């Protein structure tokens, strides 16, 4: 028996019945009922803004899959570049396709010298690396006028390749500038994460511990996509105006910058540092509950009402990293916070669990990344998610320029009063 929903307009008695498919019914039903009627849905909490076949997320049960593959399997068996191919193409590559994809990405890692010498070198010495990253993405687009040709598949593919390949270069450039260090050119003999780590820390011969290189790759996989989050929605909204992908990605990165989104990993480490000692955890939790202090950063999620599956993997990865780097002293505070929160009715009743950002910052810090780089580390792999959604958006015949309506609550029409009469 097909599932349907019937909506009645009590003002007119008009009724409309529409199908429910996969728990979704079309808002066009409301339009049919009365074209001047709108749904009030701040933050799009109850709105499916698009159809998507990229990422499946079941927040109640803590399930995350890219193109049907469980995140746990991808994190333990795949690589970021293979996952990037999967997200963009819908299927895992065969050996030849993967080799070609790696070759192509590797050959686009360099950026124009003017980006570094004139653009990045023009920032103030204490510019935040994420601010530099956001603006570099938009600036990068000015080097590729072919990016405007979004109707041409060959051009779209080229820009996708460029963006995926160049984000680690932009990220390391932002870091090296903020640290007053000279730029390190990409080394195309290295793996994707190895090249990035090398551009961050180069000290002569390549000497990154393979366990750290793998941890970086796992973190890249976990952050690659997460369906219609704030940044991806920004990508889709801006992309829907047919802006080029660099400009759209800059908008997505801007959204990611906020402390309620990708900026939370930075906020977690600052919070743990402020707490200072496990003995201070109970008092901190009381402050959070009383609404006096900040929220418990790295906890809670709009969709997950269960443990974020990425947090489980990251927690395990943290121990792998600490074997190489030594334990991050903030780990004990984080563990105590998690234990305290998960046994407190405030957090239990609201289904607040650790999210992806709770433990990732501890790993980044142990690996030597400054706190200000954490959101940039999130943005590097999320770029592929943004681009996969951008591609999907452009191919979707249902989509038009994003243009929500509003519930006007201002004053009615009134006549202008000249200054002399006010
Ligand atoms: N600490 C304390 N209370 C919280 C928290 C938290 N971290 N998160 C939610 N709550 C409370 C909130 O006060 C509200 O309580 P009440 O019903 O009494 O008013 C209730 O839980 C529901 O919160 P909400 O703000 O309506 O939930 P939301 O879905 O709009 O917010 C969130 C989701 C992620 C913005 C929020 O949980 C939060 O601010 N978390 C901390 C920041 C964070 O870790 N962000 C990273 C998110 S995951 C990665 C990413 O998106 O980039």
Same-domain status, 24 and 116: no
Q: Is the CB of 357 under 6 A from ligand 1?
A: yes
Do residues 27 and 103 both lie within one domain?
no
Cα(368) to centroid(ligand 1), Å:
28
- Ligand 1 near 228 CB (within 6 A): no
The answer as to whether 108 is a domain residue is yes
Q: What is the model's pLDDT at position 204?
A: 57
Active site residue 261: yes
Could you tell me if 27 and 169 lie in one domain? no
Distance (Å) from CA 277 to ligand 1 centroid? 24
- Candidates 384, 360, 381, 389; CA nearest to 171 is 381
In a domain, 143, yes or no: yes
Judge whether 404 lies within some domain: no
> From the CA of 259, how far away is ligand 1's center (Å)?
11
- How much is the pLDDT for 76? 97
17 & 88 share domain: no
In short, whether 147's Cβ falls inside 6 Å of ligand 1 is no
In a domain, 421, yes or no: no
| Interatomic CA distance for residues 217 and 84, integer angstroms | 11
The pLDDT of residue 309 is 94
Whether residues 159 and 213 fall in one domain: yes
Structural domain that includes position 93:
52-397
Assign 3-state DSSP to the chain and report helix, strand, coil percentages, each to 5.
55, 5, 40
Task: Please name the residue whose Cα sits nearest to atom 9 of ligand 1.
Answer: 300
DSSP H or E run through 121: none
* Ligand 1 and 87: CB distance under 6 A: no
Does an H or E element contain 41, and which?
Answer: none
* CB neighbour list of residue 88: distance below 8 Å, 6 or more residues apart: 160, 384, 387, 388, 391
Note whether 152 and 63 are same-domain residues. yes
Contact in structure between 333 and 278 (CB atoms under 8 Å): yes
CA of 389 to the centre of ligand 1 (A): 25
In a domain, 46, yes or no: no
Count Cβ atoms below 10 Å from residue 351 Cβ, excluding itself.
Answer: 13
**15 strand-pairing partners:** 8
Low-confidence residues in the chain, pLDDT < 70:
203-206
Query: Of ligand 1's atoms, which has the minimum distance to the CA of residue 230?
Result: 51
pLDDT in tens, 277-301: 999 999 999 999 998 778 999 999 9
Give pLDDT, residue 246.
98
Q: CA-to-CA distance for 326 and 310, rounded, in angstroms?
A: 22
Atom of ligand 1 nearest to the CA of 350: 21
Q: Is the same domain home to 131 and 28?
A: no
422 occurs within a structural domain: no
Specify whether 77 is located in the same domain as 16. Answer: no
Residues 125 and 71 in one domain: yes
The closest residue, in CA terms, to atom 4 on ligand 1 is 295
Q: Does the Cβ of 305 fall within 6 Å of ligand 1? A: no
Site to probe by mutation for ligand 1, drawn from 130, 300, 345, 348 as the one with most ligand atoms within 8 Å of Cβ, is 300
Do residue 258 and residue 303 come from a single domain?
yes
Active site residue 357: yes
The CA–CA distances, whole Å, from 351 to 77, 206, 321 equal 30, 45, 29
Among candidate residues 225, 244, 308, 357, the one labeled active-site is 357
Give the 3-state secondary structure of residue 25.
coil
The finding on whether 255 has its CB within 6 A of some atom of ligand 1 is no
> How many Å lie between the centroid of ligand 1 and the Cα of residue 301?
6
Q: Which residue, judged by its Cα, is nearest atom 10 of ligand 1?
A: 300
Give CA 288 to chain center in angstroms. Answer: 25
Judge if 61 and 32 occupy the same domain: no
Whether residue 285 is contained in a domain is answered as yes
Whose CA is closest to atom 8 on ligand 1? Answer: 300
Question: Residue 205 has what pLDDT?
Answer: 56
Residue with tokens 């289904």: 351
Q: How many domains does the chain have?
A: 2
Nearest CA among 277, 221, 279 for reference residue 78: 221
Distance 299 CA to ligand 1 centre (A): 7
CATH of the domain at 386: 1.10.580.10
Q: How many CB atoms lie under 10 A from the CB of residue 35? A: 8
Find how far residue 62's CA is from the centre of its chain.
Answer: 18
Q: In this structure, which residue's CA is closest to atom 41 in ligand 1?
A: 297
Write out pLDDT tens, residues 394-421: 999 999 999 999 999 999 999 999 999 9
Please check whether residues 8 and 119 belong to one and the same domain.
Answer: no
Q: In terms of C-beta density within 10 A (0-12 exposed, 13-18 middle, 19 or more buried), how is residue 99 classed? A: exposed
Is 128 a member of any domain? yes
């Amino acid at each position: 028996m097909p599932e349907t929903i019937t909506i009645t307009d009590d003002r007119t008695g008009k009724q409309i019945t529409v199908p429910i498919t996969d728990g979704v019914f079309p808002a066009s039903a409301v339009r049919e009922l009365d074209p001047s009627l709108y749904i009030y849905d701040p933050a799009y909490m109850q709105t499916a803004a698009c159809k998507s076949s990229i990422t499946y997320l079941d927040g109640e049960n803590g399930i995350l899959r890219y193109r049907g593959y469980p995140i746990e399997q991808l994190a333990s068996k795949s690589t970021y570049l293979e996952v990037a191919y999967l997200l963009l193409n819908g299927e895992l590559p065969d050996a030849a396709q993967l080799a070609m994809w790696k070759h192509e990405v590797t050959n686009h890692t360099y950026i124009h010298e003017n980006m570094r010498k004139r653009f990045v070198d023009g920032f103030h010495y204490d510019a935040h690396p994420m601010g530099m990253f956001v603006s570099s993405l938009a600036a990068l687009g000015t080097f590729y006028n072919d990016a405007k040709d979004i109707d041409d598949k060959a051009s779209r593919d080229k820009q996708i390749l460029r963006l995926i390949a160049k984000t680690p270069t932009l990220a390391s450039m932002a870091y090296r500038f903020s640290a007053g260090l000279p730029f390190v050119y990409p080394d195309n003999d290295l793996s994707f994460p190895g090249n990035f780590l090398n551009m961050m820390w180069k000290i002569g011969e390549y000497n990154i511990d393979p366990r750290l290189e793998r941890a970086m790759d796992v973190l890249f996989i976990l952050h690659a996509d997460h369906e219609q989050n704030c940044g991806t929605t920004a990508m889709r909204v801006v992309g829907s105006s047919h802006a080029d992908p660099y400009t759209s990605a800059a908008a997505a990165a801007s959204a990611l910058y906020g402390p309620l989104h990708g900026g939370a990993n930075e906020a977690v480490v600052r919070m743990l540092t402020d707490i200072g000692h496990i003995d201070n955890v109970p008092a901190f939790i009381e402050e959070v509950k009383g609404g006096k202090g900040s929220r418990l950063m790295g906890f809670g999620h709009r969709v997950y009402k269960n443990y974020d599956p990425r947090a489980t993997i990251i927690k395990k990865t943290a121990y792998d990293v600490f074997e190489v780097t030594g334990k991050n002293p903030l780990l004990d505070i984080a563990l105590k916070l998690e234990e305290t929160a998960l046994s407190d009715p405030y957090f239990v009743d609201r289904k607040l669990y650790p999210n992806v950002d709770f433990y990732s910052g501890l790993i980044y810090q142990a690996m030597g990344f400054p706190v200000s780089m954490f959101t940039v580390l999130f943005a590097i792999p999320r770029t592929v998610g943004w681009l996969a959604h951008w591609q999907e958006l452009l191919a979707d015949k249902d989509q038009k320029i994003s243009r929500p309506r509003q519930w006007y609550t201002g004053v009615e029409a009134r006549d202008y009063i000249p200054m002399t009469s006010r």
